[in-house]
Structure 1
Amino acid sequence: MTEIIPSLASIAARYDAVFCDLWGCLHNGKTPYPAAVAALQGFRAGGGKVALVTNAPRPHATVIAQLDRMGVPRDAWDLVVSSGDAAQTAMLQGAVGQKVFHIGAVKDEDFFTMLPEGAVAPERVGMLEAEGIVCTGLEDDLTETPADYRAQLLLGKTRGLPMLCANPDIIADLGDKRLYCAGALAGAYEDMGGTALYFGKPHPPIYDLARARLGLQSDEARILCIGDGIGTDVAGGIAEVLDTLFITAGLAADQFGPDPATPDAGLLTDWLAERQIYPTFAMGFLG
């Protein structure tokens, strides 16, 4: 049964490292949560390592620059691992061919340009010339929905193009606005009969990358996965046989009673039972 805990500090001694999500846990897309920052700083002060593991579709250097602009202090984390990192590696290995059609925003341009030394990105072409699709998100996630891409996706499916999805998240909250992510387009593509490839949470590549970069032995390290995505952060951690901490005041904040900081135990139990996903721990806001 999931245990509701008062703070990360109350269980910190059990773990060598945490894999912590960003949006909904450490920040809201605009500003950091001070209590979450302090919790991660405290964990590191006690000797633990913190990997910020995010489904952002951009290389980790771009994510770090964004965190710096937000004011997230660097002593709150050891390293950043992104879905963009894992997906970019697959793209460079030819997962969806050497000619690709890109679906995504200008802000995702670093996915193709910020490459490992000596690497060459595939050529970006039109849908009719492409061997595959690379989806980093919607072109304008502030105004568009997956429905705006129906014709484009149908053409890709008809041509039998595989899609590399650089961010498995379906939705994210930017402040008080809910946005669609690349995972929503990949899901729509699969519903049409298309094939989508995923490399972020809850899929293994991003966890393997995080362990490797932290220098952890997968069968020895005590790792806690923290996140507000029940189908990504929590399901992914469980699949890796790791303990999980579900942040209830994130994406599902309206499901657990009137006070987001204090989830109702009964509502939480019923909600988790409906999904048959059971995190080890839960708390309102990370702190």
Structure 2
Amino acid sequence: MTRIIASLAEISAPYDVLYCDLWGCLHNGKALFPQAVSALQAFRRKGGAVVLLTNAPRTRHAVKRRLDQMGLPEDAYDAIAASGDATQVAMLQGAAGRKLWHLGPGKDEDLFSLIPDWLQDQPPIERVSLDEAEGIICTGPFDEFNETPEDYRGRFLSAKVRGLKMLCANPDLVVDFGETRIYCAGALAELYAEMGGEVLQFGKPYPPVYDTARSALADKGISVDNDAVLAIGDGFRTDIRGAQAEGIDALFITGGLEAARFGADSEAPDAALLDAWLAEIGLSPRYSMGRLR
């Protein structure tokens, strides 16, 4: 049974590191949540470290630029680990070939242009049309506000018949951009896999992005055991399953993607509804709360 808490400070003492999700926890794609920002700042003031662990299908550099634009103070976190970083490594090492069809919006350009120094010696990736491709790198729909996975069924059939492997840079199915729910790369990858295509995933809940998070901490001179890490997220498929697989305690933010399941007040989840749903899906986050604060 999960413990519903009112603030992060209630339970933060045993933890040295937070792995904190972005969308639905720290912001809604348009604006930061001030109470969430304050909670992370307070955790760092007590000596803890915060990794912003995101399924964003772009590098940490692009994620930081966006957070800077949104006004996130730098004293709210220590490092960023993005699904795009983990995907980029596999892409540059040739996991799906060297000639790739990029399925995704132009904002994910940094995957191809911001190459880490230690990967500069890899042969170049050539972006080509689907007809010429050896593989696919998927960062989302081309038009995430208007397209659905079904819009790609025909192209996916062609790719599957040719045996093209897909690298999925964001396992999330959907995110809420303000009040609008949009499809992510994970929804496209799910359809491709259902059609028989081969998919490699790199964000939460899969191991590569957690390796990226540990590397980001190591770069700061921080080494931590799993029992001193708390993962915070609103995605049960990604944040909570990923934490469970890694042996990390989890704080489930119920007021995010799944808010409609737990009563009328997104700030105060109904305990009976929450416990019944968690039992149904077989998950047991140690803590839950409506919004991060």
- Report if TM-score (shorter chain) is over 0.5: yes
Name whichever of 122-131 and 202-211 sits farther off.
122-131
Letter in 1 for 2:195: M
Alignment of 1:28-43 (within 5 A): 28-43=28-43
Cα distance in 1 for partners of 2:246, 2:226 equals 13
Cα distance in 1 for partners of 2:124, 2:79 equals 25
CA contact under 8 A between 1:23 and 1:29: conserved in structure 2?
Answer: yes
What is the count of residue pairs matched by the alignment? Answer: 287
How far the C-alpha of 1:218 sits from its partner, in A, is: 5.6
Q: Following superposition, which runs of at least 4 residues in structure 1 exceed 6 angstroms of deviation?
A: none
1:184 to 179, 183, 187: 187
From the superposition, tell whether residues 247 and 121 of structure 1 become closer, same or farther in structure 2 (CA, over 3 Å): farther
Task: Tell me the residue number matched to 2:153.
Answer: 150
Task: Tell me the residue number matched to 1:174.
Answer: 177
SS of the residue aligned with 1:254? helix
SS of the residue aligned with 1:128? helix
Q: Verify: 1:128 aligned to 2:134, yes or no.
A: no
Task: Tell me the residue number matched to 1:113.
Answer: 113
What residue ranges of structure 1 are gaps of 5+ in the alignment?
none
How far the C-alpha of 1:221 sits from its partner, in A, is: 5.8
1:267 to 273, 284, 290: 273
Cα distance in 2 for partners of 1:157, 1:128 equals 12
CA contact under 8 A between 2:167 and 2:201: conserved in structure 1?
Answer: yes
How far the C-alpha of 1:116 sits from its partner, in A, is: 1.4
CA contact under 8 A between 1:2 and 1:281: conserved in structure 2?
Answer: yes
Task: Tell me the residue number matched to 1:227.
Answer: 233
Task: Tell me the residue number matched to 1:2.
Answer: 2
Cα distance in 2 for partners of 1:235, 1:204 equals 11
Task: Tell me the residue number matched to 1:239.
Answer: 245
Task: Tell me the residue number matched to 1:282.
Answer: 288
How far the C-alpha of 1:126 sits from its partner, in A, is: 1.7
Under a length normalisation based on structure 2, what TM-score does the superposition of the two structures give? 0.96
- Structure 1, residues 236-266: CA drift from partner, whole Å, max 9, x if none? 0010000000000000011100100000000
How far the C-alpha of 1:121 sits from its partner, in A, is: 4.0
Cα distance in 1 for partners of 2:177, 2:74 equals 22
CA contact under 8 A between 2:226 and 2:247: conserved in structure 1?
Answer: no
Task: Tell me the residue number matched to 2:167.
Answer: 164
CA contact under 8 A between 2:227 and 2:249: conserved in structure 1?
Answer: no
> Percent identity over the alignment?
56
Task: Tell me the residue number matched to 2:214.
Answer: 211
Cα distance in 1 for partners of 2:20, 2:224 equals 17
CA contact under 8 A between 2:227 and 2:248: conserved in structure 1?
Answer: no
Task: Tell me the residue number matched to 2:205.
Answer: 202
Cα distance in 1 for partners of 2:290, 2:255 equals 5
Task: Tell me the residue number matched to 1:48.
Answer: 48
Alignment of 1:55-74 (within 5 A): 55-74=55-74
How far the C-alpha of 1:217 sits from its partner, in A, is: 3.9
How far the C-alpha of 1:219 sits from its partner, in A, is: 3.9
Letter in 1 for 2:198: T
Letter in 1 for 2:77: W
Cα distance in 1 for partners of 2:152, 2:47 equals 47
Task: Tell me the residue number matched to 1:86.
Answer: 86
CA contact under 8 A between 1:99 and 1:123: conserved in structure 2?
Answer: yes
CA contact under 8 A between 1:103 and 1:135: conserved in structure 2?
Answer: yes
SS of the residue aligned with 1:260? coil
Name whichever of 124-133 and 60-69 sits farther off.
124-133
The Cα RMSD (Å) is 1.1
SS of the residue aligned with 1:112? helix
SS of the residue aligned with 2:141? coil
SS of the residue aligned with 1:13? coil
How far the C-alpha of 1:128 sits from its partner, in A, is: 2.2
Cα distance in 1 for partners of 2:279, 2:225 equals 29
- Structure 1, residues 19-52: CA drift from partner, whole Å, max 9, x if none? 0000000000000000000000000000000000
Under a length normalisation based on structure 1, what TM-score does the superposition of the two structures give? 0.98
SS of the residue aligned with 1:39? helix
